[in-house]
Amino acid sequence: MPLNTLRQTLSAVHTASARRPLSLSLTLFLLAAGSGCQAHVHADDPGAAPQSPIASTTYRGRGVVKTITPSRTYINIDHEPIEGYMDAMAMFFPVPDTALISGLHVADSITFAIEVGEGGVTLLEASTRASVSTNP
């Protein structure tokens, strides 16, 4: 709704509200309902503008496996900061294919890759890190 139209409507409502308090509530409700009624593009509409795909980004991280769900569809990783994406924290990541985490166990130090896109965050790969010996 254009700003001038909204101002005129609110002015008229304000004037009328002194006479009918219920009309103010009803008008505000209708304004709120109408503001959400924007034109939506439907995929089956031949005149619809093409929707651009949402780009996904891959990030790499390092962490320690805290939990693997019994169904092996989620893995909880206590990870270091993921550069350009998030601070260090422990969080669950969905596992789209259980083969991605075969061989991983709780307390394993791992490197991993996640994809962040339209569908959220998904684990792409995970592997144990080679332990670094400090003794010669």
Instruction: Locate 74 and state its tokens.
Output: 């989620």
For 79-132, the pLDDT digits (tens) are 999 999 999 999 999 999 999 999 999 999 999 999 999 889 999 999 998 654
For 32-42, the pLDDT digits (tens) are 444 444 444 44
Q: Distance between CA atoms of 110 and 117, rounded to whole angstroms?
A: 23
Q: Distance between CA atoms of 71 and 120, rounded to whole angstroms?
A: 20
Q: Which residues pair with 58 in a beta bridge?
A: 115
- For residue 95, the surrounding DSSP H or E stretch is none
**Do 16 and 26 contact (CB within 8 A), yes or no?**
no
Of residues 71 and 30, which shows the higher confidence score?
A: 71
For 13-38, the pLDDT digits (tens) are 444 444 444 444 444 444 444 444 44
pLDDT at residue 55, rounded to an integer: 87
**Do 87 and 64 contact (CB within 8 A), yes or no?**
no
